[in-house]
Amino acid sequence: MFIRLNVLCLSCVQMSKRKNNQILEVPSKRVRLSQPEPPDDEEERICSIQDSSDLRTSHCWMPHYSSPQASGEVGIIENIFLRNFMCHSLLGPFTFGPNVNFVIGNNGSGKSAILTALIVGLGGKAQTTNRGSSLKGFIKEGESSAQISITMRNRGQDAYKPEVFGESITIDLRISSEGLRTYKFMSKTGQPVPYKKEELVSILDHFNIQFFMKATQLEQMKEDYSYIMETKAMTQNTVQKHEEILQEMRLKFKEKEERYKNLASLDEMLQKLGELKGQMAWALVTEMEREIKNMREKIAGDEKSTIKYDQKVEEWKEKVAEAEQKYKEFHDQLESVNQRLKQLQPKCTQLKNEVQERCRVFRVAEARLHRHTTNLRDLERDKDQLTNRISELKYRYVYCMQRRELDFPVSHFFIVTCIFLHSITQSSAVSSQSRREQMNRLQTELDALNFKESTLAQQIEQFQQAYNSAKDKLNKMRLEVQDLHRALESKRRELTTLEGSRIGGLRRFGEKMPALIAAIEEANHRGHFRVKPVGPLGYCIRLRDAELCLAVESCLKSLLFAFCCDNYMDEKVLQLLMSKAFSQERRPQIIVSEFTDTLYDISTRAVRHPQYPTVLQALDIDNPVVANCLIDMRGIETILLIKNNKDARRVMQRGCPPCNCKEAFTREGDQVFNNRYYSSEQQRALYLSHDVEKEIRNLQAALQTQERNHQDFAQNIGQVEDQVHQNEVLFKRALTDHKRVKDQCRKLHLQMSDLQNVEEPQSEDLKPLEEELEELSDKLTVSREEYEMEKQQMLTLKSGFEEVELQYRQHKDDINSLAEEADPIKEELSKSDQVVEKSKHNKKHYEEKRKEHLSHIQDLKKSLGDKEHEIENSITKALEICPERSDVRRTAKSLDSEISRLKLKISTQQDQHGDRDTILRQYQDALQSYNGAALQVKGLKSFITLLGNIMNKRHNIYTEMRRYLSVRCKYYFDSMLSQRGYTGKMTFSHKDETLSISVQPGENAKAALSDMRSLSGGERSFSTVCFVLSLWAIAEAPFRCLDEFDVYMDMVNRRISMDMMLKIAASQRYRQFIFLTPQSMSSLPPNNLTHILRLNDPDRNQSTLPFGQP
C-alpha cells in the first residue's frame, strides 16, 4: 500500500468500507524544500538495529506517557447535536466521556453521521468525508438547511480566551440549501460570541486539532521555513533596491564633490565657454554646408529618378492601351457571337413549333391507323366465324340428304331434322343463360376490384406525397447540418487562432503567419532583401477607439493581411517565402511601392468633419510606410467612421456628403454611400479586437450554442429518416397491391371480352348468312383500302416529322455550340476587364507618385534657396564671434549640450560664489548619507548570509526530527503487528513523499512480505489498525476518532485490536478516544474511563439518500 504524504500522521481517521480503496493521495501544496534530503536507507539502518533487539514481547510496544492530569482539559469533545443532517432529522445531543467512548449501533443509526459532522463542523471539506461532493448534499431530503452543534472543553492554563468563552466553547454550524456555511460561537453560559469563521481556525490551532495529515507539526515547521525563505528572498530584493539607491546617492555625492572642487575653476570655465561658443558658431556653419551639399545631391538624385517615374507612367499607359485593346477584341468577339445567336434564335423557335405541330398530327394519324387496324381485325374474325357456320350447316344438310337416299321415310327424316333443330335451340338457350350469369358474377367482382384499385391509387398518392415531403425535408435538414458543420469548423478554427493569439498577436492573422514572419526575419538577416518588407498591415496598426474594430475591418478587409515591398526584387523573394509557408492556402497580397520615411501630404484631399473621424484619424500607425500604403490602396483619408447608422444615413444620404468623402462605415460594419447602403455580413471583429479573452468567451458561447443546434438537428434527422423509410415501405407495399389488383382486373376484363365475343346461334337459313358474308366481305375490302390509305398517310407524316425534328436538333446544336464558344470569351473578357482596372489603377498611382515627386523636388529647391540665404547670415555671425575659422570636428549638438552644462555650472557657482560654507556642508552631508547607506547595505548582506546559515541548520534539525518520527512510527507499527505474530515493514520516501507498507501474516519471519492488497479482509483491517495506532503515537491532537475499525475482522483480531486501543487509551488519559462500531461492546469489562453510547435503530421507511447525486 502506497500513501503520498505531506506529513507523517493523521489525527482523525475514518476507516474505508470499500475493499478497493488501497491508495490514498494527499497532494503537496508547497514546492519541495531546496535542501538535500537525507537518504532513506539511514532510517532503514536504524530500524534494523531496533528490530534486532528483543522488543516484540506483549508489553514492550505500548508507549508510556506521563499523565499530569486525570483527563484532558482543552480540545476534547463534550457533546454533539445534529439536526436535518444526512438522513437524520434529529440526532443527539450526545455527551462524550473524557477518555474512551464507544458509539455503537446498527447500520444507518447515525455513527458515520457523527464522524462526518465532526469533520464538517470543524471546517473540513465535503470531499474529505467520502460521503458527498458538496455540503448541500448533507442536508436531509426535503429540508432547507442542516445544523451541527459541537461543544469542546476549555479549561486549565491552556484554555482559549477563558474570559470570553469560559470552560467550554460551542461551535454552531448551519448549512444552507445553497451549500453555504454560517458559524456561531457560544460560551459556557450560552451567550453568543461575535466572531467570524476565522475564529475557528484560531481555536483549532490553539487546541492543536489538525486534519489532513498535519498532526505532527512538521507541516507547520515546513511552512514556517518556507515563509522565512520567502522573507529572505524579499529582503534580498530590498537589498538590491537599496544598492540601486546607493548608486544614485553615490552619483549625487560625486556631483556635490564636483561642485566642491569646481569652486576655484570659475575663470577657466568662462574662458572655455568663449572657446566653445566660437566652435559652436563654425560647427553650425559646417553642418549647414554639409546639409546644403546633401540637399543638392538629393535634388540631383531625385531629378535623375524622375526618368524612372516617367518610364513607369509610360509603361502603364502602354499596358492600359494594350489591355483596353484586348478588352475591345474580346468584347467584339462576344458581340459577334451574341449577334449570331440572336439571328439563330427565331428560326429555332419556328422549328420547335413546327416539330410540335407535326408531332401532334403524326400522333393523331397513328391513332387513326390503330383504330383501322382494330376494325380490320374484328371484320376478319367475324367473316371467319360466319364462313365456318355456313360450312357446318351445309355439311349437315348434305348428310341429311345422303341419309334420305338410303330409304329413310319422309316422316322419319322430318322428325330427325326437327329433333336436330330443337336440340340446337335448347343447347343455345342454356349456353346463353349460363354465359349471362357468369358475366354478371364477373362484373360484380370487377366492380369490387375497381373500387379497391381507386382506394389503393389514393393511398399511393398520399404515400408518395408524404415520402416526397419527408425526403425534401430530409435533404433540407442535411444541407442545414452541413452548413452548421462548416460553421462549427470555422468557429473552431477561429477559436484556435484566438487562443494562439494570447501569446502572439500574429496568430490572429493565420496559423502560418508567425512562420512567415520568422522566415522574413531570417531572410533579412541573411541579406536577401534590399529593404525588409512590412506586414501584415493589420498587425502594424492600432485602434484608438475599440468600438470601431468591426468598422475598420469591414473597410480594409484583405488589406489587413497584405505586405508592402520596396521593390520588385524583394517581392520575388517574398513570393518564394509565401509559396513555402502557404503551400495550399491563399497567399496574402503583396503591394510594391517605394518606401518613404514621411507621411503623404493629404491636406487637400482628406475629409475634415467636426464630429466623425476618418479611418486614418482613428488608427494609430507608427510606420509611415503602412499609412501611405493604406492611403494609396484604400483612400482611408476619405472614409468616415460613424458609429450610429442613422447618423451615417443622415450625413451621407440626406443632402450633400462632406467634401472629399467617398463613403462611410458604421460601428456594425455597414457600408454607406451617398445613394447606396450595404449591410455587413460580418458580425464581430476578428483581427483588431483589443480584448482577446472577451472574444474567446463570446466565441466559446457561440460554439456551444451551435454544437447544441447541431446535436438537435442530428436527432431530428434521425426521426425524419425513420419517417422516410416508413413512408417508402408503405408506398412500395401499396404499389405491389395496386399492381396485383390491376392484374386481376385485366384478367376479368379478358374473361368478360371472351364471353361477350361468343356469338348467339343464328337462324339456319343459309341465304341470309350468305348475304351477310357477302356484306362483310365488302366491308372488309373497304376497310383494307382505308387502312392502306391511313398507313401511307401516317408514314408520310412520320417522315416529315422526323425530317423537321432533325433540322431542329441540328439548329439547336448550332446554338449550343455558339453558347459554348461564348463562355471562354466571357471569361477572357472578365479577366481583361480586371487587367484594365488594375492597369488604370497602377497608372494613376504612378502619375500621383510622379506628381508628388516633382512637387517634392520643387520643395527641396525652395528649401535649398532658403538654406543658402541662411548660411550667409550664419557665416556673418560666426565671423563676429570668432574671426578666425577653425576646423571643428565635434557636432553642434554635443557643443550645445556642453555649453548648456557649462553655463549652468557657471550660473550655479556665480549664484553661490562667496558662500563656500553651504557648498561644503552639502558635500559633507552627501558624503555622510552615502557612507551610512553603504554601511546599512553591508549589514543587511551580512544578516542575509547569517540567516541563510541559520536556516540551513534549522532545516537539518527539521530533517532529523522527521527522520526520528519516521523511525518511531516504524517501531510502533512493527511492535503492534507482533501482537498477532505478524511481521511488517513500513518504508518512508521523503523525497517522493510516499509511504509503502508490507505485511506478512505468517509465523515464519523469513517469509516474503506481501502487499496489503494480497491480504484478507480481516488481516488488512488489523494491519490498518496497527498503522493508525502507530500514526497516533507521533500525533499530538487532543482527541482521536475512528470509524468501523473492526470491519472484516474475526473475533481474535477484533479482541487483540480492542485491547491494543484500550491500553493506549489507558496510558493517555489526557486524550479523548471515540470509536464507532456496529459491534456490541457487552464483553468490555466495566471501567470508569469507558463510556458506551448506543444509538437507536434507523427508520427503514426513509427515502434513498441523495449523496451520490452530482
Class of domain 74-215: alpha beta
pLDDT value of residue 1100:
63
Same fold, 2-64+957-1091 and 74-215: yes
Q: Which residues in the chain land under pLDDT 50?
A: 1-69, 212-213, 215, 407-418, 420-429, 504, 759-764, 1005-1007, 1103-1110
Report residue 208: phi and psi, to 5°: 60, 40
Distance (Å, whole) CA 37 – CA 993: 11
- List pLDDT tens digits, range 464-523: 778 877 777 777 777 777 777 777 777 676 666 656 555 546 777 777 888 899 899 999
Cell 331434322 sits on residue: 417
Q: How many CA atoms lie within 13 A of 680 on its CB side?
A: 22
Q: 2-64+957-1091 falls under which CATH superfamily?
A: P-loop containing nucleotide triphosphate hydrolases (3.40.50.300)
Name the burial class of residue 1051, with classes exposed (0-12), middle (13-18) and buried (19+) by CB atoms within 10 angstroms of its CB: exposed
* Per-residue cell: 929: 548619507
- List pLDDT tens digits, range 935-975: 888 888 888 888 888 888 888 888 888 888 888 888 888 88
pLDDT value of residue 266:
63
**How many residues are given for the chain?**
1110
Q: 75: phi > 0 → left, psi -120 to 50 → alpha, else beta; which? A: left
Q: What residues contact 250, with CB distance under 8 A and at least 6 apart? A: 930
Q: How many CA atoms lie within 13 A of 375 on its CB side?
A: 17
Closest CA to 664 of 683, 643, 688, 685: 643
Strand partners, 999: 984, 1010
Chain centroid to Cα 710, Å, comes to 15
Q: What residues contact 23, with CB distance under 8 A and at least 6 apart? A: 1, 2, 3
Q: Do the beta carbons of residue 997 and residue 991 sit within 8 Å?
A: no
Containing H/E element for 655? none
Establish whether the linkage from the previous residue to 533 is cis, with ω within 30° of 0: no
Q: Do the beta carbons of residue 193 and residue 186 sit within 8 Å?
A: yes
* Per-residue cell: 81: 447535536
Residue type, 120: V
Q: Do the beta carbons of residue 370 and residue 378 sit within 8 Å?
A: no
Q: DSSP per residue over 480-493, as a string?
A: HHHHHHHHHHHHHH
* Per-residue cell: 413: 327424316
Instruction: Tell me the whole-structure pTM to 2 decimals.
Output: 0.38
Q: Do the beta carbons of residue 118 and residue 1041 sit within 8 Å?
A: yes
| Cβ neighbours, 10 Å, residue 1018 | 19
pLDDT value of residue 55:
32
Domain ranges of the chain: 2-64+957-1091, 74-215, 225-266+904-955, 503-690
Distance (Å, whole) CA 541 – CA 616: 10
Report residue 949: phi and psi, to 5°: -65, -45
